[in-house]
Chains A and B, each alone.
Chain A
Amino acid sequence: MSDAHSITAPPAAHGDSAHAHHDPDVPHQFDDLDQKNLTDTLGMWTFLATEVLFFGAIFAALMLYRSMYTEAFVEASKHLVVGIGLFNTFVLLASSYTVVLTVHAAKKGDNKQIMVWLAATSLLGLTFLGMKVVEYHKDFQENLVPHTADFGISAEVQKDFDNERDLLPTHPELWQQALAASKWKVPTDRAHAGDAKLLMQHAQLFYVFYYTMTLIHALHMVIGLGIFAFLMYRASRGAYTARAHAQIEICGLYWHFVDIVWIFLFPLLYLIR
């Protein structure tokens, strides 16, 4: 387990006893620094494993409904703004890179560098959240909110119709026309009104998944930003050294995991064809 790596050797100060000398960086329950670091890493991975189960369950449900209602999910996915999703993926991958640079700085014990790269990561995280807000605003303008009566009929199209109450499934032809005008591939004849209704219900299910998954992911990001703020505060106090920076490493693991979740979320939500 402990290789002869000089950085984990305890400081040679104490000239005392036969039994283990006290290493100030290693709390008493651990044998040595290597064991402490491994314990910290395994502890964080245990938590990340539970997060895989958490997100994984929703992913599994999404995949199942996608194979059941493929047509509706393809249609619904077309209304998401792929450009924003692509930009957000790029932002998150860049933030993973800055986290790696943070850990690199921590290994050198350079607290100032740690603060710089943590700030960069936080900025990228805030950019991601900002773009999410922009994206949700666009989605609301297109009325892509599940469980509303006029789901899918964008605000612009609604202006062309005199009476809001015409845009309900109870008035099939007008409703279908409004949907077609909002770029939904639904049948526009009265005979297939039932098919249109079913398609739109399944599309609403897609949007339930979309909002649930992206909001839970955004919540994880906000928590990550809070954690980074705390780490920046500690770094400003000079808390991290080349030997004792486990906190930075394991919080970095958390942020990388949030990035991995998004790496899978992006194609499975935005790129369904």
Chain B
Amino acid sequence: MATYNVVFILLMVLLILTYYAYTIDLGNAYGISWNLVVALIIAVIKAAMVLMIFMHVRLNPKIVWVFALSSFLWLILMIAGFENDHVARGLDGTYAHDTFTSEAAAMVQAQ
């Protein structure tokens, strides 16, 4: 019972943290929106706590872990695949510095 209370308070703290991370601009170094990364990390921690402790997955046999986590794993693979495809098309100049021929580079620079 005490665990549930602690987890609830932690969830509230993380929610407040989410809001503060949103008010700070972390910039775009290396072309990655760091605000997004931080927001997603905090969301994953919150979801993990709800999953493991509130949904009792932590106490369940490992077969339940497989059922619970495999769909999220697939989701990560799908999003990674989508982003990979999008970047590889080179349409919005994200990887302009990676194009090897001068004509292709000129085409991308012209965007």
Q: Interface residues, chain A, CB within 8 Å of chain B?
A: 1, 38, 41-42, 45-46, 48-50, 52-53, 56-57, 59-60, 63-64, 67-68, 70, 82, 86, 89-90, 93-94, 96-97, 99-101, 103-104, 249, 252-253, 256-257, 259-260, 263-264, 266-268, 271-273
A contacts with B: majority SS: helix
Please give me the 10 A-B residue pairs with the lowest Cβ-Cβ distance, nearest first: A52-B71, A49-B71, A267-B39, A45-B67, A56-B75, A271-B22, A97-B8, A260-B47, A256-B55, A64-B82
B51 near A260 with CB under 8 A, answer yes
Query: Do A263 and B43 touch across chains, with their CB atoms under 8 A apart?
Result: yes
Give residues of chain B (59-94) contacting chain A, Cβ–Cβ below 8 Å. Answer: 60-61, 63-64, 67-68, 70-72, 74-75, 78-79, 82-83, 86, 92
Q: How many A-B residue pairs have CB under 8 A?
A: 111
Give the CA-CA distance A112 to B73 in the complex, in Å: 39
Residues of B in contact, count (CB < 8 Å): 41
With contact pairs A263-B47, A267-B40 given, residues A52 and B72 touching in the complex (Cβ less than 8 Å): yes
**Residues of B that sit less than 8 Å from A by CB:** 1, 4, 8, 11-12, 15, 18-19, 22, 25, 33, 35-36, 39-40, 42-43, 46-47, 50-51, 54-56, 60-61, 63-64, 67-68, 70-72, 74-75, 78-79, 82-83, 86, 92
Chain B residue contacts of A259, Cβ below 8 A: 50
Chain B residues near A266 (CB-CB < 8 A): 18, 43
In chain A, what residue has the closest Cβ to B70?
A49
**Closest residue of B by beta carbon distance from A259:** B50
| Given known contacts A52-B71, A96-B50, A41 and B15 CB-to-CB distance under 8 angstroms | no
